[in-house]
A = this chain, B = another copy of it.
Amino acid sequence: MPKLRVHNLSISQDGYVAGPDQSLDNPLGIGGEALHTWIFDTDYGRDMMGEQATGTGGLDEDHAIAGDVNIGATIMGRNMFGPVRGEWPDHSWTGWWGPNPPYHHDTFVLTHHPRPTVSMEGGTVFHFVDDAPESVLKRAFESAGGQDVRLGGGSSTVRQFLKAGLVDELHLAVVPILLGAGERLYDDLGTLPGYECTRVESSDRVTHVTFSRTEGNAAESGRSQGL
């Protein structure tokens, strides 16, 4: 059964995915940058930033890479797609990634301001959708043709799908810092479906914790909800 998977979601020990006082100048909030240095220091991250690989490998590298394996479609929030808020002034913004984004499959961008589909080089097709999580996920599963769907950030997107009971696998990269305040992942999630912790491993930077759903899965939930 295909799954909806979250990978490499960086979170502080006290449950914040961004620090307090987020702004355009400081989109990760005070102290929030420290949540992401671990992945930028992997070769996966260095490649994203156009930097030289180190060949070091290791647990963090393995987790960074694992997030792309067997993924046939991606769902992301609008803030992960770009900095533009509100109505699109025009359709010139096509993501942070240049002409050939690293997805190479149908990528569904959640937005209250839909716009025409954009086909990029390398097979990435951005669809702009203003639908309920269940409907977006149904389309994504169809696109994925039997592979899994990856749920990207931001955290409000992840929270929305968690609340809807649709996440099958949740991989957290727990960074051992206390932010004290900021944007919470674990907010008002209510009754979650059953999850069991299937992996806990610490590098010297991060504790990787993976939860897997024990009851049904997202594809099945979708069907049971008549999707």
* Interface residues of A, Cβ cutoff 8 Å to B: 13-15, 172, 174, 176-178, 180-181, 185-186, 188-192, 195, 197, 200-202, 207, 209, 211
| Given A15-B15, A15-B186; A191-B181 close (CB under 8 Å) | yes
- A96 to B217 Cα, complex, angstroms: 44
Q: Which residue of B lies closest to A197 (CB)?
A: B176
Most buried by B among A174, A178, A195, A207: A178
Q: Inside 8 A of A174's CB, which chain B residues have their CB?
A: 13
Contact, CB under 8 Å: B176 / A181: no
Q: Inside 8 A of A181's CB, which chain B residues have their CB?
A: 188-191
Q: Which residue of B lies closest to A180 (CB)?
A: B192
- A182 to B202 Cα, complex, angstroms: 27
30 A-B residue pairs with CB within 8 Å: A13-B172, A13-B174, A13-B197, A13-B209, A13-B211, A14-B15, A14-B185, A14-B186, A14-B189, A15-B15, A15-B186, A176-B197, A176-B209, A177-B195, A177-B197, A178-B195, A180-B186, A180-B189, A180-B190, A180-B191, A180-B192, A181-B188, A181-B189, A181-B191, A200-B202, A200-B207, A201-B202, A202-B202, A202-B207, A207-B209
Q: Inside 8 A of A201's CB, which chain B residues have their CB?
A: 202
Q: How many copies does the complex hold?
A: 2
Report A20 CB to chain B, min CB distance, Å: 9
Q: Inside 8 A of A172's CB, which chain B residues have their CB?
A: 13
Q: Inside 8 A of A14's CB, which chain B residues have their CB?
A: 15, 185-186, 189
Q: Which residue of B lies closest to A177 (CB)?
A: B197
Report A159 CB to chain B, min CB distance, Å: 12
New contact pairs (4) apart from A13-B209, A207-B207, CB-CB < 8 Å: A13-B172, A15-B15, A178-B195, A181-B188
